Structures are given as C-alpha cells and as structure tokens.
Amino acid sequence: MLKVETLTSPRNPLLMDVRRAARAGSLTENGCCLAESFHLLDEILRGDCRVEVVLASQSASTEVQLRLRTRPAVRMAVVPDRLFDAVAATEASQGVMVLVRPPAWTLEHVFGKLPLVMVLDGIQDPGNAGAILRAAEAFGASGLIFARGTVSPYNPKAVRASAGSVFRVPLVQGLAAEEIQAGFTRGNLTVYASVPKQGQAVHVADLARACAVIIGSEGRGVSDRLREGTTALHIPTASVESLNAAMAAGIVLYEAQRQRGGRP
C-alpha cells in the first residue's frame, strides 16, 4: 500500500529546494531532476531511474496515486494546489512533479561501441536541447555532450521537450573544451562542426565512422575553441542563412542513421 505524506509549509526544505531548482532550471541540491507531467511520470516508471519522491497537487493526487498503484515503494507527497503552483516550473502545471535521480554516465557510455556523439555548444533554449535529446534517441546516437555554458539537459523545459529521452540516452554535461577534445583524441573520433555554409555537405561527410558533430548556438555558432581541428559540415539549403539549431541536429542525425544502415 502506497504511503502518502502531506506537505503544507512553504518553508519545507524539500519544497524550497524544488522551487529553487525550478527557477534556476537545474538539478536540486541533492542532484535530482524535476520532471513535470503525467507523460514523463509514466516514462520514468517504465525506466530504471531512481525516483526520490513524486509530488502531487491536491487536485491531481487521486490520478497520481492511480499511476503509482503498482509502485508501493515510491515516496509520494501531496501539496496544496496553490503551494504546488508556487513551487512548479511549469505555468500550466498538470499537478505532478517527479524528483528523479538521472543516470550517472561517463564519456565511455556516451561514446558507446560505434560513437555518434552530438555536442551541444552554448545552446541556451531548453526546447531546442530537449528536441535534440529526443532526436538523438530516435536516430540511434551513442550519446551527447553538453559543453560548459550550455543549458542544462535537466532544465525542466528541456526534460519535457525530450519526452523522456533525457533519462535514456547517455550524456555528460558541464565539460570544458579541453576535456571534450581530450576525449575525442582518446576515442579516435572524427569531429565535425556544423556551420551554415562551409565545408562538406552533410550527405557527403562520412557519418558512418566513429564521429562527433558539434552544434553551436544560433546566435554565435560553434565556439572558436571547440572548432579547432574539426571538419566543417553544412546542410545544403536553398535560401535561408541557417536552420534552427535543433532542426540542424535532427537532420544530421537522420543522415547519419541513413549512412549507418540503421533504419529499422
């Protein structure tokens, strides 16, 4: 039988920690990620991640209990609606928030057996980051690197846009350029930098080999420091300057899947 607590004080340390993480778009003090929707709750329950606690608004508590009926060991806490809304990151919240401990991956996991690594370099929009995570899983990337200065993959909006992929695809975050480059050298990866017009067209570049593709932010592109020693890669387009960063990443991944013969 599921044991349900009730948290009613805005000064409750757990709720204060959640609120801070929601505002900062980051992990909680003790390293948990906020996932805010019933869809994500279902995705998480299907996976291997450790759930610390599921918070439910009073209004949504029956529905949340129903979803947790086969998981009596999960800690669940009900929070009054107004307090829940004050704590949540989402504006139109569904009344459910999962605190989940994301898997601890290393670069070795990210590289996998045949590396196809997407590097996010300075992308700030959590929706774009989430869409890239989702496409990375969809097209069989080995993993992702979130370079230092990039939005957190555990930003609640990125988590939502990833539709749960953030908990399944190997990723590391916060790495400095030198650490990333040292990793590429160790793994003997060919490194491409995605740019608007120069270099090889994406369908000509060899993405079947062990490789990484760096996607820069839309404003500044790939940083000079990470661009060193890479091969420029572009998506041929008819007329516009560049594509949305997530769109560019998705097309590179689609093309890589085609070249690798990995179509299901």
Contact set with a second copy (CB under 8 A): 127, 131, 134-135, 137-140, 161, 163, 165, 168, 201, 203, 235-241, 243-244, 246-247, 250-251, 254-255, 257-258, 262-264
Q: Which is nearer to a second copy, 97 or 252 (CB)?
A: 252
Q: Least Å distance between CB 42 and a second copy?
A: 11
Distances (CA, A) of 125 to 128, 155, 172, 261: 5, 10, 18, 31
Q: Which is nearer to a second copy, 171 or 235 (CB)?
A: 235
Q: Which is nearer to a second copy, 83 or 118 (CB)?
A: 118
Q: Least Å distance between CB 231 and a second copy?
A: 19
Q: Least Å distance between CB 222 and a second copy?
A: 19
Q: Least Å distance between CB 107 and a second copy?
A: 22
Rg for the chain, CA atoms, rounded: 20
Q: Which is nearer to a second copy, 67 or 254 (CB)?
A: 254
